């Protein structure tokens, strides 16, 4: 059985990383992470139904350092998955694929909307959490 | 497969007829989109609801969940959420798990887990809203 080093077909390695590849990877990763987050929703609802003790355990977890960190990560994951999902839904209709829209000089181009998805998800996450911190510290009127 | 027809007079066409397309090719794709469209307003609403309840005490949390509109929207959210999640996890498992028995076990666990979580959430919401 002779082993000849045959050429293999090119895989992802030959492509330059563009924003749509990041969107694709992040959509799957945030989707997986949000599946874990859905269990937090279940925990919260079950705790609220079970009684005050169960609820205070849940609330204490959410208020802990790890809890807040996870909640910020879940907020961004949700907003990214949401914005990117909306872009998916528009592209499902065939929008954005014609040659003119893949032209960099045009706005919004195929890639510009990708950067918009990332920027909007980060901005909304910041907005939500800055608002929450301001309210907690009594800074917001 | 070849055992089916080797010792009979059936033609290959006779053997495959009825075993092919289950006429459900776009079902997964379509359900993923329907649940996604539902989750666009519902997840934003959940974010709004949670942000409003951040420093709320136990009684006000129960009162919020128990309101008819909130309870109905929460049930709708929970159904779309776990359905959409199960559809997504199904594809991830199909893509990365190449050992057949592991794939089957994981697919069953995902379906059972998503269904159980959804039922538990609906039961919890109903208990608060109706209790």
Q: Enter the tokens of residue A91.
A: 């592209």
| A31 neighbourhood in chain B, CB within 8 Å | 85, 88, 92
* 3-class state of residue B73 by DSSP: helix
* Cβ of residue B117 closer than 8 Å to a chain A Cβ: yes
ipTM value of the model?
Answer: 0.85
Please report the pLDDT score of residue B23 as a whole number.
Answer: 66
Q: Nearest chain A Cα to B71, which residue?
A: A45
DSSP string, A62-76: HHSHHHHHHHHHHHH
As a whole number of angstroms, the distance between CA B107 and CA B128 comes to 32
Annotate B57-92 with b (16+ C-beta within 10 A) or e (fewer). ebeebbebbbeeebbebbbebbbbbbbbbbbbbbee
Chain A contact set for B87 (CB, 8 A): none
**For residue B125, what is the nearest residue in chain A, using CA coordinates?**
A45
Would you state the pLDDT for residue B116?
A: 98
Note the pLDDT of residue B102: 97
Q: Which residues of B touch A86 (CB under 8 A)?
A: 40
Residue B86, token pair as written in the block: 């199960």
A·B CB contacts under 8 A: 76
Which of B47, B61, B92 has its CB closest to that of A78? Answer: B47
What's the CA gap between B18 and B15, in Å, rounded? Answer: 8
- A52 with B82: Cβ contact below 8 A: no
B58–A56: do the CB atoms touch at under 8 Å? Answer: yes
In the prediction, which pLDDT does B1 show? 47
What pLDDT was estimated at residue B15?
Answer: 74
Contacts 24+ apart (CB under 8 A), A130-139: A131/B51, A132/B51, A132/B54, A135/B54, A135/B55, A136/B54, A136/B55
Do B124 and A78 make contact, defined as CB atoms within 8 angstroms?
no
Q: What is the pLDDT, as a whole number, of residue A139? A: 55
Contact: B37, A89; criterion CB under 8 Å: yes
- pLDDT, residue B7, reads 63
Both tokens of residue A126?
């910041």
**Closest approach of chain A CAs to the CA of B117, in angstroms?**
7
Running DSSP on this structure, what letter comes out for residue B53? T
Tell me which chain B residues have a C-beta less than 8 angstroms from the C-beta of A28: 92
Render each residue's pLDDT in chain B as its tens digit; 131 residues: 455 545 677 787 877 777 766 667 789 999 999 999 999 999 999 999 999 999 899 999 999 999 999 999 999 999 999 999 999 999 999 999 999 999 999 999 999 999 999 999 999 999 999 98
Residue-level pLDDT at A140: 47
Considering only the beta carbons, identify the residue of B61, B81, B120 that sits closest to A55: B61
A102 touches chain B (CB under 8 A): no
The pLDDT value recorded for residue A102 is: 65
- The answer, yes or no, to whether the previous bond of A115 is cis (omega within 30 of 0) is no
Q: Would you state the pLDDT for residue A103?
A: 65
Cβ separation B89–A35 shorter than 8 A: yes
Mean pLDDT by 10 residues, chain A (141 residues): 73 81 96 98 97 96 96 98 96 80 63 92 97 80 46
Q: Which residue of A has its CA nearest to B74?
A: A45
Please tell me the distance from the alpha carbon of residue B4 to that of residue B35, in angstroms, as a whole number. 41
CB contact under 8 A, A32 and B43: no
């Amino acid at each position: 059985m002779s082993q000849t080093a045959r050429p293999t077909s090119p895989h992802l390695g030959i492509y330059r990383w563009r924003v749509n590849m990041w969107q694709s990877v992040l959509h799957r990763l945030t989707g997986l992470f949000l599946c874990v987050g859905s269990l937090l929703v279940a925990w919260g609802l079950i705790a609220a139904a079970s009684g005050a003790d169960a609820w205070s355990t849940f609330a204490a977890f959410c208020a802990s350092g790890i809890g807040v960190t996870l909640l910020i990560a879940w907020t961004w994951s949700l907003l990214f998955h949401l914005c990117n999902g909306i872009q998916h839904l528009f592209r499902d209709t065939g929008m954005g694929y014609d040659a003119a829209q893949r032209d960099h000089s045009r706005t919004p181009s195929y890639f510009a909307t990708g950067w918009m998805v990332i920027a909007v998800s980060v901005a909304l996450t910041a907005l939500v959490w800055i608002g929450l911190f301001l309210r907690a510290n009594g800074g917001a009127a | 497969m070849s055992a089916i027809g080797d010792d009979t007079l059936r033609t290959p066409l006779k053997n495959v007829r009825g075993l092919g397309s289950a006429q459900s090719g776009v079902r997964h794709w379509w359900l993923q989109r329907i649940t996604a469209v539902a989750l666009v307003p519902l997840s934003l609403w959940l974010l709004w609801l949670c942000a409003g309840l951040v420093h709320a005490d136990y009684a006000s949390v129960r009162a919020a969940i128990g309101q008819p509109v909130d309870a109905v929207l929460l049930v709708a959210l929970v159904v779309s959420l776990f359905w959409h999640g199960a559809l997504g996890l199904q594809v991830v498992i199909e893509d990365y798990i190449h050992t057949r028995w592991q794939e089957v076990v994981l697919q069953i666990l995902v379906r059972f887990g998503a269904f159980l979580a959804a039922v538990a959430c609906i039961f919890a919401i109903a208990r608060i809203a109706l209790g």
